[in-house]
């Protein structure tokens, strides 16, 4: 029984679901709101910013999502 993040598998699975259902849509709204208030960038730079924002959310929560698709190792 290895716990990389200090949480049980069940807790990590529930937290991952909460992040996907609540956190990710909220992050999208915040990111688009920030981009709409920011000064207008050239199209390529704006596209690059959206790509970075679209990928950047995963790094802080990567440890929670690792192994979630696998069967419960405690079962």
DSSP 8-state code for residue 73:
T
Tens-digit pLDDT profile for residues 20-34: 999 999 999 999 998
Spatial contact of 16 and 64, defined as CB atoms under 8 Å apart? yes
Tell me the pTM.
0.74
Phi-psi map region of 34: left, alpha, beta (phi>0 left; psi -120 to 50 alpha)? alpha
Return the H-helix or E-strand segment holding 60: helix 58-65
User: How far is 36 from 32, CA to CA, in rounded Å?
Assistant: 6
Q: What is the pLDDT of residues 27-69, one digit of tens each?
A: 999 999 988 898 888 999 999 998 999 999 999 999 888 888 8
């Amino acid at each position: 029984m290895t716990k990389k993040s200090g949480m049980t598998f069940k807790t990590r699975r529930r937290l991952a679901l909460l992040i996907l259902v609540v956190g990710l849509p909220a992050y999208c709204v915040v990111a688009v709101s920030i981009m709409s208030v920011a000064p207008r960038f050239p199209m390529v730079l704006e596209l690059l910013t959206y790509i970075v924002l679209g990928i950047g959310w995963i790094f802080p929560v990567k440890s929670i999502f690792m192994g979630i698709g696998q069967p419960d190792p405690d079962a």
